[in-house]
């Protein structure tokens, strides 16, 4: 009898053990490197786990492209799961310039249109393909990659990152959109100083 009571109480204790299934973001609190603090499970609703990326972003800009984030700040149910999402829109001639995400691999799923996408490996091998709707391409963590509209109509894609904080460094901005002196940019990239000055002018760099 005692043994049965012991087993029952153990079972009860285990069923109440607090397995943390999720940590829906409390957006009223500050984000930390580990994400947002959680709201209490009793306050969690299904809408916290649903987010719409159905609306095209505004592509009227220098790259004719838009990235609409679905990160924890927009999509609280993602908090703590090590994932983030985004929508990519490319007008005709639109381009996401060569860039890296230091903290995440990326999966891109083409929704509409044609997108030429590629990445360059550490061994400088190039992997590039024109993708059509329904195709998916993966970009390994940290490698330089790009996407460009390959068709005559608008293109759209959905992307998922293997981290809540993929990070972003855009190559041209790193080289030409800051105050690193032209002579240093030129000396360290082997580019002509006149070209460096021109690109600094276009991208808002100084020096």
Which CB sits closer to ligand NAG, 57 or 118? Answer: 57
Which CB sits closer to ligand NAG, 16 or 55? Answer: 55
Which CB sits closer to ligand NAG, 9 or 61? Answer: 61
Residue 31 marked in a binding site = no
Of 140, 92, 99, 87, nearest to 114 (Cα)?
92
Interatomic CA distance for residues 185 and 192, integer angstroms? 9
Least distance from C-beta 201 to ligand NAG, angstroms? Answer: 20
Binding mask 37-76 for ligand NAG (x = CB under 6 A): ---------------------x-x----------------
Sign, CA dihedral 14-19-21-26, equals: positive
Least distance from C-beta 58 to ligand NAG, angstroms? Answer: 4
**Interface with ligand NAG includes 124 (CB under 6 A)?**
no
Residue 183 marked in a binding site = no
Which CB sits closer to ligand NAG, 66 or 157? Answer: 66
Residue 43 marked in a binding site = no
DSSP codes, 135-204: -EEEE-TT-EEEEEE-SSS-EEEEEEESSS----EEHHHHHHSS---HHHHHHHH---HHHHHHHHHHHT
Of 173, 148, 151, nearest to 64 (Cα)?
148
Binding site for ligand NAG (CB under 6 A): 58, 60
Binding annotation for Mn(2+): 99, 101, 106, 145
């Amino acid at each position: 009898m005692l043994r049965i009571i012991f087993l029952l109480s153990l079972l009860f204790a285990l069923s109440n053990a607090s397995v943390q299934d999720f940590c829906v973001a409390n957006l009223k609190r500050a984000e930390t490197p580990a994400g947002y603090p959680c709201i209490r499970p009793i306050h969690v609703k299904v809408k916290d786990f649903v987010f719409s990326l159905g609306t095209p972003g505004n592509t009227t800009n220098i790259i004719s492209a838009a990235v609409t984030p679905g990160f924890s700040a927009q999509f609280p149910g993602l908090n703590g799961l090590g994932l983030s999402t985004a929508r990519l829109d490319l007008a005709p001639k639109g381009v996401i310039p060569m860039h890296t995400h230091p903290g995440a691999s990326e999966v891109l799923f083409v929704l509409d249109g044609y997108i030429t996408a590629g990445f360059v490996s550490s061994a400088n091998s190039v992997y590039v393909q024109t993708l059509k709707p329904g195709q998916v391409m993966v970009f390994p963590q940290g490698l330089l990659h790009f996407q460009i509209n390959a068709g005559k109509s608008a293109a759209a894609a959905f992307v998922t990152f293997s981290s809540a904080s993929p990070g972003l460094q855009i190559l041209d901005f790193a080289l030409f959109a800051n105050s690193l002196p032209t002579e240093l940019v030129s000396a360290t990239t082997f580019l002509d100083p006149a070209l460096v000055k021109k690109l600094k002018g276009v991208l808002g760099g100084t020096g």
